[in-house]
Amino acid sequence: AQNRIVVIGGGFGGASAAKYLRKLDPSLSVTLIEPKATFYTCPFSNWVLGGLKNMEDIAQTYTVLKNRYGVNVIADSASSIDAAKGTVTLKSGKVLNYDRLIVSPGIDFKWNSIEGYSESVSNTKMPHAYEAGPQTALLHKQLLAMNDGGTVLICPPANPFRCPPGPYERASLVAHYLKEKKPKSKIIILDPKDKFSKQGLFKKGWEKLYPGMIEWRSVATGGKISKVDAAAMTVTTDFGVEKGDVINIIPPQQAGKIAVDAGLTDASGWCPVNPITFESTIHPGIHVIGDACIAGAMPKSGFAASSQGKVVAASIIRLCQGKVPAPPSLVNTCYSLIGPGYGVSVAGVYKLTSAGIVEIPGSGGLTPMDADDDHLNEEATFARGWYNNIVQDIWG
């Protein structure tokens, strides 16, 4: 009988898995469940905030997956999974049977972790813009409406979270916009951490491009927020109350709701998996990829999710053929734009050891601290190329 693979979530992980399953084995029946007709990518959404791209530039659809690759795309969301029966129930009430299920639902937010913050506050006053779409548009609108001389507060969460360099690229590109249009303004990053991804490179770029505009406060200098007041537009830290004209709260995160509801998460809020096949160590037959899974040293990035999507496709095909899946190599590169001609990156290649997924020593690394202007400009060009390639590879 034909093997039936169901994929929940048409983002970086799920859409990659669905496409590569059909590319590698067209005899499989592959069904992708995704409620959004248009998927706005988080990668490059900071570029929208900086005025370098618009929302249409980051919009992806499922037409090619459907028409060229024969993926059965259902515009609905999964409301429950029955791991014992091997079924997924959709919001519409429809029930799908699967032989193997791939779950790539991304993240959910821990709304109750900050007093005064809620989903409705995030949708109206203090957007997270950590799922691209209406939230990105709202934060962009607020930045456009802010007066010159205003203060933008960016409040990232503690680790682990989606896209470790994301809040700092955001600060950079918002600064690019403010420097051009509202140069008396200021950005304060209130961070509950004592260090952040590519910190040295970001700080160097900020000093060069936006001197005095971006202030980063660590946990030791009042970066940890405990409370927000949406009416007063303030946040409370251990050191006092801070007022913002635009406030971007990026709340603590966990695996997407369907993964939590299906019992695929452990006490950490993320999903433990076998690192060869990404099969859940809790529910056999269900594979979890992308931000929702625990993937050792790999960061929660779109590139990592897509890399895992291809690995899971190859593993499932071997499992369907009764073969043993091969241990994978996995890759990741994260570009961050600090200014239009100023890019930096971190890259890694990962392998499997008895300690799980680890980075191969010397395989990747960071943009050198002493990179010259040509190098930094070239990295900005590579960032554009990276985006065009990955969205073509996944949705094109």
Residues at the interface with ligand FAD (CB under 6 A): 8-14, 33-36, 39, 42-43, 45-46, 77-78, 104-106, 130, 162-163, 166, 170, 256, 258, 290-292, 300-303, 305, 334-335
Residue 235 or 312: the one with the smaller Cβ distance to ligand FAD is 312
Choice between 291 and 359, CB closer to ligand FAD: 291
Taking the least distance from each CB to ligand FAD, the nearer of 136 and 185 is 136
Q: How far is the CB of 239 from ligand FAD (least distance, A)?
A: 27
Which tokens in the block code for residue 318?
Answer: 């071997």
The smaller minimum CB distance to ligand FAD, of residues 229 and 332, is found at: 332
Q: How far is residue 296's CA from residue 299's CA, in Å, rounded to a whole number?
A: 8
H helices present in the chain, as ranges: 12-24, 45-49, 63-67, 119-124, 134-145, 166-181, 199-209, 257-261, 302-320, 373-395
Which structure tokens are listed for 48? 């929208």
Pick the closer one to ligand FAD by CB: 334 or 371.
Answer: 334
The least CB distance from residue 360 to ligand FAD, in Å, is 19
Min CB(88)–ligand FAD separation in Å: 9
Exposure of 76 by Cβ count < 10 A (0-12 exposed, 13-18 middle, 19+ buried)? middle
Residue sitting closest to ligand FAD (CB):
11
Please, which residue, 144 or 232, has the CB nearer to ligand FAD? 144
Give whichever of 235 and 383 is closer to ligand FAD, judged by the CB atom: 383
For the CB of residue 163, give the shortest distance to ligand FAD in the complex, in Å. Answer: 3
- What DSSP designation does 147 have? P
Minimum Å gap between C-beta 12 and ligand FAD is: 4
- In sequence order, which residues have a C-beta less than 8 Å from that of residue 159 and are 6 or more positions away? 193
End-to-end CA distance of the chain: 30
Residue number, 18 or 319, with CB nearest to ligand FAD: 18
Tell me the two tokens of residue 276. Answer: 């060869």
For 63-119, give the DSSP string. HHHHHTT--EEE-S-EEEEETTTTEEEETTS-EEE-SEEEE---EEE-GGGSBT--H
CA 288 – CA 279 distance, rounded (Å): 6
Least distance in angstroms from the C-beta of 156 to ligand FAD = 10
Count of CB atoms situated within 10 Å of the CB of 214 = 24
Name the one residue in this structure whose structure tokens are 């300690």.
355
> CB of 184: closest distance to ligand FAD in angstroms?
26
Q: Cβ closer to ligand FAD: 144 or 241?
A: 144
193, 158 contact by CB (below 8 A)? yes
Rounded Cα–Cα distance for residues 271 and 256 (Å) = 10
Least distance in angstroms from the C-beta of 81 to ligand FAD: 9
Residues 6+ apart with CB under 8 A from 259: 103, 105, 265, 271, 288, 292
Q: How far is the CB of 322 from ligand FAD (least distance, A)?
A: 28
CB 176 within 8 A of CB 212: no
